[in-house]
């Protein structure tokens, strides 16, 4: 299992009404690719964790980099993991400012994640 965490900045023309269609499209695509994850948007920045087979996640990330709805894509971390953190979500959307749970998800050891929870 491969997990990737990235952040980016919304394009100036991306507004709150655009998030629902983005999540619906991403959910359908991720389901087909066997990718799970979660997306957060605080009105300015996106943070997303993707998890699945490494090749599938990296191919999707390549597509995401060129999406005009955001700029400044930065991959914060990539790890191999024994299990999915977001296995029950094709793409969960959480509106908020706190990205700490995504940072915690990138801990390479389950014991460290449990201690930080």
The pTM of the full predicted model, rounded to 2 decimals, is 0.79
Q: How far apart are CA 93 and CA 96, in angstroms?
A: 10
Shortest CA distance to 7 belongs to which of 93, 52, 70?
70
Architecture in CATH of 2-108:
2-Layer Sandwich (3.30)
CA angle, 73 as apex, 62 and 94 as ends, to 5°?
Answer: 100
How is the chain split into domains, by residue range?
A: 2-108
d(CA 63, CA 41): 19
SS3 at position 27: helix
Predicted local distance difference test score (pLDDT) of residue 111: 44
Q: Report, as an integer, the average pLDDT of 65-82.
A: 95
27: CB partners within 8 A, 6+ apart? 90, 91
Q: Which residue has the higher pLDDT, 19 or 117?
A: 19
Q: What does the alpha-carbon distance between residue 103 and residue 117 come to, in Å, rounded to a whole number? A: 11
Structure confidence by residue, pLDDT tens digits, 37-54 = 889 888 899 999 999 999
């Amino acid at each position: 299992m491969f997990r990737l965490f990235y952040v980016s900045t919304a394009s100036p023309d991306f507004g709150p009404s655009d998030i629902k269609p983005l999540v619906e499209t991403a959910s359908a695509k991720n389901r087909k690719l066997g990718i799970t994850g979660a997306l957060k948007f605080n009105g300015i920045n996106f943070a997303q964790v993707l998890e699945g087979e490494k090749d599938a996640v990296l191919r999707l990330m390549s597509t995401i980099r060129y999406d005009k709805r955001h700029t400044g894509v930065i991959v914060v971390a990539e790890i191999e993991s024994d299990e999915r953190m977001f296995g029950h979500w094709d793409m969960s959307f959480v509106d908020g400012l706190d990205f700490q749970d995504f940072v915690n998800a990138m801990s390479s050891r389950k014991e460290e994640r449990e201690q930080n929870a």
